[in-house]
């Protein structure tokens, strides 16, 4: 799938004027597969929320390359998803067809069939009528990946998609992520497991509120870069103001 890069130009993102991401510049190339990695509190999830338009940059700009929100399939962290709403597995998956049918469109037999195919692809054939509240964490994550399959987005954005799920589910869903990349989609994924990153992601953005490196994974996750990221994390000032770095110098 072709398209334009998603570009960040000197982007700073803050909560209540306390910076979470500092002066980030770079681009996700069309069809690239990039891990966003770094210490806890490094601004990784904040970066994705800014990309999705949920947060506005305090400084700088984000160019989504002409993509609308419908062109991006976004899976936030599991803790941000409310499973108490009374939906079946089939209902949840078919929410991925919103781009095709619109807010008031009906679900056709074709879309229902595609939803069943998506569930089969993630190993949940026959689960259509189950309540999402009755699913294990791993099963529910498979449902959310099936929803992304139905959405058929050009860009896939995943925030810690393998946290608190079993190894078999992780392996199956990683295979699906690799498949999306093979189809030419742009994949951006926040991950903590450096071995997963090294094994599957050609590109890495190493973040410690500021960019440490952005490029080929072997280079980005070099020992010297990881040491620098750790040192920066230890020096963070949680009370710093926007565009004030941990050392107190002006940005």
Distance CA 241, CA 173 (A): 39
Q: What is the mean pLDDT of residues 40-46?
A: 93
Band (pLDDT 50/70/90 cuts) for residue 86 is: confident
For the segment 54-83, what is each residue's pLDDT rounded down to a tens digit?
A: 999 999 999 998 998 789 999 998 766 777
What does the pLDDT read at residue 17?
A: 74
For residue 249, the model assigns a pLDDT of: 40
Does the pLDDT value for residue 16 go beyond 90?
no
pLDDT reported for residue 164: 86
For residue 85, the model assigns a pLDDT of: 81
Contact in structure between 21 and 43 (CB atoms under 8 Å) = yes
Residue 250 scores a pLDDT above 90: no
Instruction: Round to whole Å and give the CA distance between 224 and 162.
Output: 27
Q: Are 21 and 47 in contact (CB under 8 A)?
A: yes
Q: How confident is the model at residue 247 (pLDDT cuts 50, 70, 90)?
A: very low
Helix 109-121 × helix 137-151 angle, to 10°: 130
Task: Give the model's pLDDT for residue 248.
Answer: 41
Joined together, the tokens standing for residue 198 give 């090294």
Integer Cα distance of 5 and 22 in angstroms: 20
- Closest listed residue to residue 207, CA positions, set 76, 59, 80, 25: 25
pLDDT band at residue 18 using 50, 70 and 90 as cut-offs: confident
Say what the pLDDT of residue 101 is: 58
Residue 62: HSE in the Cβ half-sphere, 13 Å Cα cutoff: 21
CA–CA distances in Å: residue 197 to residues 1, 176, 204: 23, 15, 8
User: Comparing 95-109, 190-204, 229-243, which segment has the lowest mean pLDDT?
Assistant: 95-109
Residue of 124, 118, 182 whose CA lies nearest to 149: 118
pLDDT the model gives residue 82: 77
pLDDT tens, residue by residue, 146-192:
999 999 999 999 999 998 899 999 999 999 999 999 999 999 999 99
Is pLDDT at 244 greater than 60 in this prediction?
Answer: no
What pLDDT does 200 receive? 96
Rg (CA), the chain: 19
pLDDT attached to residue 251: 41
What local confidence, expressed as pLDDT, does residue 84 receive?
Answer: 80
| SS3 (DSSP) at 25 | strand
Q: Where are the alpha helices (DSSP H) in the chain?
A: 44-51, 89-94, 98-101, 109-121, 137-151, 167-182, 194-200, 217-220, 223-234
């Amino acid at each position: 799938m072709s398209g334009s890069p998603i570009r960040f130009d000197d982007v700073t993102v803050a909560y209540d004027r306390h910076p979470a991401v500092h002066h980030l510049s770079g681009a996700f190339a069309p069809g690239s597969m990039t891990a966003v990695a770094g210490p806890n509190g490094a601004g990784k999830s904040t970066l994705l929320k800014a990309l999705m338009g949920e947060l506005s940059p305090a400084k700088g700009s984000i160019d989504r390359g002409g993509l609308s929100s419908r062109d991006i399939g976004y899976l936030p962290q599991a803790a941000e998803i409310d499973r108490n709403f009374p939906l079946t597995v089939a209902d949840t998956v078919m929410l991925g067809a919103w781009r095709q049918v619109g807010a008031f469109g009906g679900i056709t037999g074709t879309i229902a069939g595609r939803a069943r195919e998506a569930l089969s692809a993630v190993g949940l054939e026959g689960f259509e009528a189950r309540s999402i509240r009755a699913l294990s964490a791993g099963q529910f994550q498979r449902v959310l990946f099936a929803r992304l399959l139905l959405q058929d987005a050009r860009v896939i954005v995943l925030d810690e998609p393998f946290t608190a799920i079993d190894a078999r589910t992780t392996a199956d869903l990683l295979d699906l992520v690799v498949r999306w990349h093979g189809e030419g989609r742009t994949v951006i994924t926040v991950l903590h497991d450096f071995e997963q990153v090294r094994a599957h992601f050609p590109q890495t953005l190493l973040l410690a509120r500021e960019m440490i490196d952005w490029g080929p994974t072997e280079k980005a996750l070099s020992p010297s870069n990881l040491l620098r990221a750790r040192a920066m994390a230890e020096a963070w000032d949680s009370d710093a103001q926007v565009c004030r770095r941990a050392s107190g110098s002006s940005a």
